[in-house]
Amino acid sequence: EVQLVESGGGLVQPGGSLRLSCAASGFTFSSYWMSWVRQAPGKGLEWVANIKQDGSEKYYVDSVKGRFTISRDNAKNSLYLQMNSLRAEDTAVYYCARMYYDFWSGPGCFDYWGQGTLVTVSS
């Protein structure tokens, strides 16, 4: 059974940092693109970042470029999101998600999701 378990969320002051982790099990982690998707309270879904199987390609939504860094450790079956210079608008539930890959489209949709971890940026 595929399982994704996020951790590391919490309350942080504006300008602060936080590192999210996602522990993966039930599939060959090193064979999949992985992603972070967030959802602000009462709002819709927003893709944040994703990373290729070997970490050689990374993509970010414009609003987090230069502040957030996605990484992975295939030996530990773990995905990470280092979040720096946090702003109030980064407040959200952050989901770790596995990406479905299609030969023609590349990394595509999100076929498995974790339960999410809440990040609150407030003074």
Partner 1 sequence: DIQMTQSPSTLSASVGDRVTITCRASQSISSWLAWYQQKPGKAPKLLIYKASSLESGVPSRFSGSGSGTEFTLTISSLQPDDFATYYCQQYNSYTWTFGQGTKVEIK
Query: Given the rule CB under 8 A, which residues bind partner 1?
Result: 35, 44-47, 50, 59, 62, 95, 100, 102, 105-116
| Least distance (Å) between residue 112 CB and partner 1 | 8
Joined tokens for residue 77: 């079956």
Q: Which lies closer to partner 1 via its Cβ, residue 13 or residue 43?
A: 43
| Least distance (Å) between residue 8 CB and partner 1 | 17
Q: Which lies closer to partner 1 via its Cβ, residue 13 or residue 28?
A: 28
CA–CA dist 9, 94 (Å, integer): 8
Q: Which lies closer to partner 1 via its Cβ, residue 62 or residue 75?
A: 62
Cα distances (angstroms) measured from residue 17 to each of 11, 39, 96, 99, 104: 10, 19, 18, 26, 37
CA–CA dist 14, 90 (Å, integer): 9
